[in-house]
Chain A
Amino acid sequence: MPENILLDPTAETSPVIQPRLARPSSIAGKTIGLFDIAKMRGDEFLDRLDELLTTRGHTVKRYRKKHFTHLAPIELKQQIKSECDLVVEGLAD
C-alpha cells in the first residue's frame, strides 16, 4: 500500500507547504550560534563572521560536529536549540 499520499485530516485552512519561521526584525540582543559542519575552511568563514558579530556587540557561541559526513548528534542539536536564538550553519565548500 503506497504510504506517500495522505489525506488531510484538518479543516484545510492552513497551507500544505508549511511556512518557515518568520525572520526576526533585528538580531539585537539575540545569541547567535555559529555551527561548523567540519567542511574544509568552513571555520575560516565562521571565524570571520564571529569577529564581525562580536565587534558589533553580539553574543556568539561556537559549535562544531565531528565530521561533515555524519549527522549532528541529537545532544548537540538540543544544546544549540537551548542556547541560541539564531544559528548560522557553515555549509558546503
Chain B
Amino acid sequence: MMRAMTQVAVPQNQTSGKPAVVAQTFVAVVKRECETCVMAMPVLRQVEQQAERLGGKLEIHVQDDPGFAAGFSDARDDSELATSYRYNIDTVPTLIRLVDGREDKRVVGWRREEWQAITGMASLGEGLPAFRPGCGSITMDPGMPARLKVKYGNTGLASRRIEVPALSDPVEACYERGWSDGLPVVPPTEERVLEMLDGTSRSPREVIGTVPPNLAECTVEKVAINAVMAGCRPEYMPVVLTAIEAALMPGFGLHGVLATTNACTPVVMVNGPIARAIGMNSKGNVFGQGNRANAAIGRTLQLVVRNVGGGRPGEIDRSVFGSPAKYSFCFAEDEEDPRWESYAVSLGYSPKQSTVTVFPGDGITQTIDHISRSPEDLCRSYAPCIRAIYHPGHIIGVQAFLAIGGEHQNVFYDAGWSKTRVKEELLRLLMIPVREVVPGRSGLTGLTEEEKANPDNLVPKFKNGTFNIIRAGGKAGKYSAIISSIGGRGSIEPVTKEIK
C-alpha cells in the first residue's frame, strides 16, 4: 500500500547554488488526542504560512475532532479515515510533501531536523524538543485495518458475496444456507475473513488441495472463511491449514472417513511448540469442551468437509451413528514429561518442530484401572479393552491410538518402561487364536491359508491396522482412553505434516 517515495532533485539557484524557493504543497495528518500533534500545531501553522507565501498550501486532515484544526486555511475532517487510508498513515503527526500531486517525502512524529529539512525552514521548531515520538494513527486501532480495507481498498477476496437482507439475522442466514454443523457459526464478513488471513503469510488464492467428496478446490481464502465460522483466531491458521492439508493427503483416505457408515471422523493432534503458543489443551478434559483452539481448529476441518467438499450427513455421509466427535476432535499431545518422547519425535521430528497428525477416530472408550501398580499388570488391564474394539475377534481394518492418562503414565515411568516397551507388551498380549477370529472380511478372509490351518495359531489384533501410544489428559484419575477406528495400512492411515 505504501507508495514508492520518489527522490526529486531540488532546483538550484543559478547564482548562489542554494536551493531555489519553489511552491510546495503539504499534507498533514493529526489527531487532537495525540500530545505530539498538539505540540506540532503551532509549527504546522508556520508551515502553512510559509507554503502560502510561496504559492503553495498545507492540507491538514484531522482524524478525530475537526475543530482541532480551526483557523487553518485548508482544514479537513478525516474522521472517515479515507485520506489516512489512502496515504497509509500509521503514526500521527505525519507531514507529507507533494510534488506535482504525488508524494515526494514524508516525516513521521516530531523530529525537528527532519521537519526543517522537508519544509526548507531552517529555524522551524526552535524552542521545542529535538525529538518527540508520534502516536498511533486511528487507522491502526484494533480491527481498523480490515475495516478500512473493506471500505476503501481492494480486499483481493475472490469468494462470492452473499447479501443478507437488512432485517435478517446473519447467524440465521448461515443456518438457512446449510453452512452450519448444527451449532451457530460466526457470520463470515469480509472484515473477519481479512483478519483471519492476517494469521498466515500464504496467498488467499493458493489452492491447498481438493476436498472430497465433490473434489472441490479449496483455497486458503475458503479455509479462512470456514475458520471464521468455526470460531478460530488468526493465530490458529498455520495449524488449521496444515491439518486440512494432512487430511487431504492420499494416505489418510478422507473420502472413506467422511462417507463411511462407520462413526469415525478425522482426529487432529498437534505436537510441538505451537500448541502452547496458541493455548491448546493437552491436560484435563483434553478431548472435551472448553478450549477455543481445540474446538475451533477441529471444527474448521469439519466445516471445510461440509461446505467446500460437500460431505454432509444424510447425503454422501452415511454414518449410522456419527458421534459428538464429528463436531470437532482436536487436541495437543501432552509433552510435558521428558521421560517419553512425543508422537512426533518418535516419527523423527525434532521437539522444536511443530506438527499436525490427522488420524481416524470413533470417539473415546475409557479404560479404568485403579489397582495396577506394575506396568505388566496395567498392560494386562488394557489388553482386553483394546481387544474388544468392534469385536474381540475383529482383526482386519481396525486400528487404534491409546491415550495414556497422567496417573497411568507414572506407573510406566516409575518402572523405567519406554513407550516402545509398552507397545511391544501390548501387541504381544493382543495376539488372538485363529479359533476366535470372526469370519468374513473383518477376520478370517484376511488370513492366509497357512495362518488358518491351525485354530491355535495366534494372529495380531491389528493385523493390518496401526496401533500407537500417545499421552494426554489430566493428572488425577487412573484412566486411559482408546481412540479406535476402521482403516489400516494402505487404506486409512494416520498422517503427519510439519507446520510451517
Chain A residues within 8 Å of B, Cβ to Cβ: 1-13, 16, 18
B window 182-240: CB within 8 A of A: 187-193, 211, 214, 216-218, 221-222, 225-226, 229
Are A7's CB and B159's CB within 8 A?
A: yes
- The binding surface of chain A is classed by DSSP as loop
Are B225's CB and A8's CB within 8 A?
A: yes
Smallest distance from the beta carbon of B168 to chain A beta carbons, Å? 8
Are A9's CB and B229's CB within 8 A?
A: yes
Known A2-B189, A18-B177; contact A7-B162, beta-carbon cutoff 8 A:
yes
Count contacts between A and B, CB distance < 8 Å.
Answer: 79
Known A1-B143, A3-B170, A16-B160; contact A9-B189, beta-carbon cutoff 8 A:
no
Are A6's CB and B173's CB within 8 A?
A: yes
B window 316-347: CB within 8 A of A: none
Which residues of the other chain, A, contact B188 by a CB distance below 8 angstroms?
6-7, 9
Instruction: Specify which of A1, A7, A16 lies most central, judged by the most chain B CB atoms within 10 Å of its CB.
Output: A7
30 contacting pairs across A/B (C-beta < 8 A): A1-B189, A1-B192, A3-B164, A3-B170, A4-B165, A4-B166, A5-B190, A6-B161, A6-B164, A6-B174, A6-B187, A6-B188, A7-B161, A7-B193, A7-B221, A7-B225, A8-B162, A9-B159, A9-B222, A9-B225, A9-B303, A10-B179, A10-B310, A11-B214, A11-B217, A11-B218, A11-B309, A12-B160, A13-B214, A13-B216
Which residues of the other chain, A, contact B218 by a CB distance below 8 angstroms?
11
Are B216's CB and A11's CB within 8 A?
A: yes
Smallest distance from the beta carbon of B219 to chain A beta carbons, Å? 10
Smallest distance from the beta carbon of A3 to chain B beta carbons, Å? 4
Which residues of the other chain, A, contact B132 by a CB distance below 8 angstroms?
none
Known A11-B217, A12-B159; contact A3-B187, beta-carbon cutoff 8 A:
yes
Are A5's CB and B216's CB within 8 A?
A: no
**Cα distance, A13 to B215, chains bound together (Å):** 12
Which residues of the other chain, A, contact B170 by a CB distance below 8 angstroms?
3-4, 6
Smallest distance from the beta carbon of B217 to chain A beta carbons, Å? 7
Which residues of the other chain, A, contact B192 by a CB distance below 8 angstroms?
1
- A2-B189, A4-B166, A9-B222 are known contacts; what are 4 more A-B pairs with Cβ within 8 Å? A6-B187, A8-B160, A9-B159, A16-B162
Are B307's CB and A9's CB within 8 A?
A: yes
B163 within 8 A of A: yes
- Find the A residue at minimum CB distance from B159: A7
- Find the B residue at minimum CB distance from A3: B170
B130 within 8 A of A: no
Are B157's CB and A7's CB within 8 A?
A: yes
**Cα distance, A46 to B67, chains bound together (Å):** 66
- Find the B residue at minimum CB distance from A12: B160
**Cα distance, A10 to B160, chains bound together (Å):** 9
B292 within 8 A of A: no
Which residues of the other chain, B, contact A7 by a CB distance below 8 angstroms?
157, 159-162, 188-190, 193, 221, 225
B481 within 8 A of A: no
Cβ contact of B189, chosen from A5, A10, A12, cutoff 8 A: A5
Smallest distance from the beta carbon of B180 to chain A beta carbons, Å? 10
Are B161's CB and A10's CB within 8 A?
A: no
- Find the A residue at minimum CB distance from B178: A10
**Cα distance, A60 to B385, chains bound together (Å):** 58
B308 within 8 A of A: yes
Smallest distance from the beta carbon of B334 to chain A beta carbons, Å? 33
- Find the A residue at minimum CB distance from B193: A7
